Amino acid sequence: MRRLLFTVLAIALVACGGPEPRRPVQSKTSSINASIERSKKLLALEERMIQQIITSDSLHDYSHSSTGAWYYYTVKNNVATYTPRPDDLVTLTYNVVGFNNDTLYSTNDIGVINYKVDKQELFPGLRNSIKLLKEKETATFLFPSSLAYGYHGDNNKIGVNVPIKATVTLFHIEKQQDSIQN
């Protein structure tokens, strides 16, 4: 009896180990790394497409923005010095064209827009590009898909991962008090 009690007690002590955490069946890091690699390859492809457009366009002098877009001025205002700042209200028009020059949205489709800088929704490339223009300037921007409508598209005419061109005309900048004081 004593031996049986000792055996049961020994088994109970050995069986009372701490709980072991469950390990995941699969690791997700490989799918994240694959997504990163896909994005890098897509951006490199789109950058090559942009460089081909720039190389074949000898009429315009392209500049590169700090956010990753390429652009050239169609109409430049050398007199004005002020560019839009957050909270300013700007009046503008723009169109959206594919890299094969098919019009996705014309300026008539979009219309004239009154946009409060950095406070309203526009696609990322356009939001940043407006801040490069002065009143009465027009520029054409080349955006990789990551700065356009990205992996989602616009659920209408712009598909998944489509790089675009947009010609933007900034008509008027209404400065806000904070911008005027600075």
Q: Which residue has the tokens 């827009």?
A: 113
Q: What are the backbone angles phi and psi of residue 122, rounded to the nearest 5°? A: -140, 165
Domain count, the chain: 1
- Is 76 within the bounds of a domain? yes
- Is 5 within the bounds of a domain? no
pLDDT tens readout for residues 73-123: 999 999 999 999 999 999 999 999 999 999 999 999 999 999 999 998 899
The CATH number covering residue 165 comes to 3.10.50.40
2, 6, 7, 9, 79 from 13: Cα distances, Å? 16, 11, 10, 6, 87
Q: State yes or no: pLDDT of 7 exceeds 90.
A: no
Instruction: Number of helices (H) and strands (E) in the chain: give both, helices first.
Output: 5, 8
Q: Supply angle C-alpha 145, 111, 84, rounded to 5.
A: 70
- Is 28 within the bounds of a domain? no
Of the pLDDT bands very low, low, confident and very high (cuts 50, 70, 90), residue 182 is low
Q: Which residue has the tokens 């900048």?
A: 173
Amino acid 128: pLDDT: 95
Amino acid 13: pLDDT: 63
pTM: 0.79
Rounded CA gap, 135 and 81, in Å? Answer: 9
Q: State yes or no: pLDDT of 163 exceeds 90.
A: yes
User: Range of 139's domain?
Assistant: 34-181
12, 16, 62, 173 from 6: Cα distances, Å? 10, 15, 87, 89
Amino acid 102: pLDDT: 94
